[in-house]
Amino acid sequence: MVIDHPIFLESIRFIRSHLGSNDLNYLEKKVLERLVHTSGDFSVQNLINFSEGACEKGLHALKNGAPILTDTDMAAAAIKSMAENTTRNKVFTARMWFGENKHIELTKTAYGLSEGWKELSAINSGSKSPIVVIGSSPTALTYLIDILENAKDLPSLIIGMPVGFIGVEKSKNKLISTDLPRIVLNSTRGGAAMAAAAVNALLRETI
């Protein structure tokens, strides 16, 4: 069970009262509120991009026990506590599949995330297809999209929020150009905490 601290609840009320008008639905607003809370910045309202029904697909998958695959240990750590207190979804990181990466054109994270996706999606399909959370590595996001182009099984949701300057916006634009269910934070902004906050907002809605 999630028991919110009074300060957190006061913060969310403050955020809600100061957000500008928008056309977001209930779940999208919940994600936005958490992102504003995590960043301390109302301008993220102008950067968030949802594909149609993305939050609903993600919530459905979480309720069905879909595993969550992250690009970093930091993102995983930020999600695990909420998962344990809600639907107990298992959380995995790319590091678990680093192994002996002999693909010199790939970063360790891109290789590990893609291998993790292949393994987890093979045993979790349909309504339990994994949710992929990327808050650091644009190369991991780009390579994942590449391997999904001809894939039969697709993620229930991709959180595309890598942070930085080299390849970051390009990777996000590539995700936005697909039909994959996604939540993207446009621009060079993002990070493990932001990506995890998006997932945690949906986990809260499972209870």
Quick: pLDDT tens for 162-190: 999 999 999 999 999 999 999 999 999 99
pLDDT score recorded for residue 103: 73
Structural domains of the chain, with CATH: 6-204 (3.40.50.10230)
- What are the structure tokens assigned to 182, written together? 């996604």
Beta bridge partners of 131: 68, 157
Quick: pLDDT tens for 67-114: 999 999 999 999 999 999 999 999 999 999 998 777 778 899 999 999
Rounded to the nearest 5 degrees, what angle is found at the Cα of 133, between the Cα atoms of 31 and 75? Answer: 90
Confidence band for 65, pLDDT divided at 50, 70 and 90: very high
Confidence band for 1, pLDDT divided at 50, 70 and 90: low
Q: Confirm whether pTM is higher than 0.85.
A: yes
Rounded to the nearest 5 degrees, what angle is found at the Cα of 187, between the Cα atoms of 184 and 192? Answer: 60
Q: What is the mean pLDDT of residues 29-45?
A: 97
Q: What is the mean pLDDT of residues 41-54?
A: 97
The DSSP secondary structure of the chain, one letter per residue, reads -----HHHHHHHHHHHHHSPP----HHHHHHHHHHHHHHT-GGGGGTEEE-TTHHHHHHHHHHTT--EEESSHHHHHHHHHHHHTTT---EEEGGGG-SS---TTS-HHHHHHHHHHHHHHHHS-GGGPPEEEESS-HHHHHHHHHHHTT-SS--SEEEE---SSSSHHHHHHHHHTS-S-EEEE-SS---HHHHHHHHHHHHHTT-
